[in-house]
Structure 1
Amino acid sequence: MATIRDVAKLAEVSVATVSRVLNRKGYVHADTVQRVNDAMKLLNYTPNDIARSLSKKSSKTIALFIPDITNPFFNELALAVEKTMQKYQYTTILCNTNDSPKLERQYIQSLKHKYIDGFIMASNTLSVEEIEQLQIPMVSVDRISSPAVPTVSSQNRKGARLAVEALLNQGCTKIAHFRGPKGLWIADERCQGYLDLVEELPWFTTKLIVDGNFQLKGAVEAANQLFDKYPDIDGVFAGNDLIAIGVLRAMQERSIHVPDQVQIIGYDGIPLTEMVYPELSTVLQPIYEMGELAAQILINKIEQEPLVATHHQLEVKLVQRGTTRHKH
């Protein structure tokens, strides 16, 4: 395998000159640059990226932190981030944290020593102080981490209001909300959107808000427990699509007809919503566009370009399918 010394010898230049050509630092005459490039081509020389990252303190690599790789939302987000980063010749490392603060900190400590260029955080259990001490370019997706960190999200509270308003307009008289984890900003926002429309209604009780934890299996169990206590529930707004699909499964196991007896609306717009029967009504957020935008903002931060805005909230829309009694 050819080395940088072999290239220097063939091009009749010093190793330092080859290094300047590789790193595009310092003046090198155009003829010399051509000789070095010709020598690398003849020798099939590939620069040592690790050595270059040590000298430049840059690895052309970013890390994407997600809390749950089994959630299709994060699959689509990761695809968008990776494709956008590839356009700028950056590599993306995927870090699945399982919502574990310990694991997230282990990832960060390991990556810091590899001269990682930036982080995109769709999972964030770090404190504001920890984030500010990192001093590494960072963007948050669907999370509020620190005022100094740019964020990309959808209009979570508005989306929840769209869903609940539709259920009310379509005749629901008792609507339950299966929320995401407490303390998680997007889950709190979606829950607040639900409360905006139902808190003052005569049938409302806080016992109609239950934890779905953004997971299908937990939602099935929670739905069975809730419907045992309140069999007259006729509407469900779920904090995400996985919860909604879990509730749909529970209704089918209980022989409750959807949407005639119970109407269900989810949130996210993952592809799985069109694969279940009946197809799931959902609040569609632009997942791919969110990933693209987060990646572009991170590139701008890494390259120290000015940001047009720090916090971005993308539009959402309600898509009604087979789990609601909407008029076609």
Structure 2
Amino acid sequence: MTTIRDVAKMAGVSVATVSRVINQINDVNKETENRVLRALRDLNYEPSTLSEGLGAEITATIAVILPDIVNPFFAELARAVEDTARAHRLTVIFCNSDDQGAKEKTYIEVLEMKTIDGILFASNILEGGAIDMMREKGIPFVLIDRAPKKGRCSVVRSKNAAGARMAVHHLIKGGCRKVAHIAGPQEFITARERQQGYLDVVGEADWFHPGLIVPGHFTIQGGKGAARALREHFPDVDGIFAGNDLMAVGALKALVRMGVNVPKEMALCGFDGVSVTEMTEPELTTIAQPIYEMGEAAVLELIKQMQGERGEDSVRELDVRLIERGSTRWRKE
């Protein structure tokens, strides 16, 4: 049975464009419309009775595959995506992959059958084969926050290494003499880039030791464990850069329970800029990603692809900024 995707592939346009032609929406240029009409005739395409009754086969729906919706960074990113999508009359379906490749693959297969118009991925595990498959089937897609291990595609993310350097410079300029790093999982490009930014600043320092980099798994529990380990093995550490805000929150909780005064004995900086950093005591200094702008830019890029305006694959990196709060503010008082 001929599908709307088959028509889009033959005409060299997006599914959304085919839908607009079928439904006689007058925002398609004449040349493109003629290509779609020829493809419809050549493939003997007939909209289903149900889609005729609804007025369109296309659902004007995009999907967002997130690794962990519980993480406040992805929750805030999801809100930005939904706001922007709604402003462009798009419905959003959210899928939680738990960073599992099999689960993500299943979502892609199901979403394709549901005639989703485009997909946003915040994925560490999207493989080159999946990228090739989506391109072959004409599925518009954009990666947000992260980049694929293999294959090229459109990506919207922030400047992770630059933000990490900003954090470490802030701690050192504030008076820290030995700065440690609580790192995220190194299979994630965001974690690797933030760790590299840390090393760019302190890697050649006479006090640096590889043991100052402790895994925190991007979780609160991981941050707690890392802070305890640093306090035990490197009691002279007086500054910590955590690779995300959840680990910073965990580190803060552990330090307070150990009787370490933050910020007088230990300065602490996170990364992401999520709202939870304002709920701690002291409030956390953080490197803020432009989360809303990232979500908005990713949706707008996806819409361009859905409209058949796909250009060269590109990586768009947005600036980050330091938000100084109580966990480091004392250093300048």
TM tier, smaller: 0.7 to 0.9
Shift of 1:21: 10
Per the alignment, in what secondary structure is the counterpart of residue 257 of structure 1?
coil
Partner of 1:29: none
Q: What letter matches 2:246 in structure 1?
A: L
Q: Is 1:251 paired with 2:255? A: yes
- Alignment match of 1:140 (pick from 110, 118, 143): 143
- Alignment match of 2:291 (pick from 287, 292, 300): 287
Q: Which segments of 5 or more consecutive residues in structure 1 lack a partner in the other structure?
A: 1-18, 27-47
In the aligned structure 1, how far is the partner of 2:49 from the partner of 2:182?
48
- The number of residue pairs the alignment matches comes to 290
Shift of 1:305: 2.3
In the aligned structure 1, how far is the partner of 2:332 from the partner of 2:309?
48
Q: What letter matches 2:325 in structure 1?
A: R
Partner of 1:59: 59
Structure number with bigger Rg: 1
* Deviates further, 216-225 or 109-118: 216-225
Q: Deviations over 1:84-142 (max 9, x none)?
A: 11122211100111111111111111111111111111124121122121221111111
Following superposition of structure 1 onto structure 2, how do residues 111-126 of structure 1 map, counting pairs within 5 Å? 111-126=111-126
In the aligned structure 2, how far is the partner of 1:300 from the partner of 1:217?
40
Per the alignment, in what secondary structure is the counterpart of residue 256 of structure 1?
coil
Q: Is 1:327 paired with 2:296? A: no
Preserved contact between residue 118 and residue 137 of structure 1 (Cα < 8 Å): yes
Q: What letter matches 1:117 in structure 2?
A: D
Partner of 1:174: 178
Preserved contact between residue 320 and residue 326 of structure 1 (Cα < 8 Å): no
Shift of 1:76: 1.2
TM-score, structure 1 normalization: 0.82
Q: What letter matches 1:125 in structure 2?
A: I
In the aligned structure 2, how far is the partner of 1:184 from the partner of 1:256?
31
Change (3 A) 1:114 1:309: closer
Change (3 A) 1:312 1:113: same
In the aligned structure 1, how far is the partner of 2:283 from the partner of 2:228?
21
Per the alignment, in what secondary structure is the counterpart of residue 218 of structure 2?
coil
Q: Is 1:207 paired with 2:233? A: no
Partner of 1:31: none
Q: Deviations over 1:44-98 (max 9, x none)?
A: xxxx996259997632111111111111111111111111111222111001111
Q: Which segments of 5 or more consecutive residues in structure 2 lack a partner in the other structure?
A: 1-18, 27-47
Per the alignment, in what secondary structure is the counterpart of residue 323 of structure 1?
helix
Shift of 1:203: 1.1
Q: Is 1:262 paired with 2:270? A: no
Change (3 A) 1:25 1:81: closer
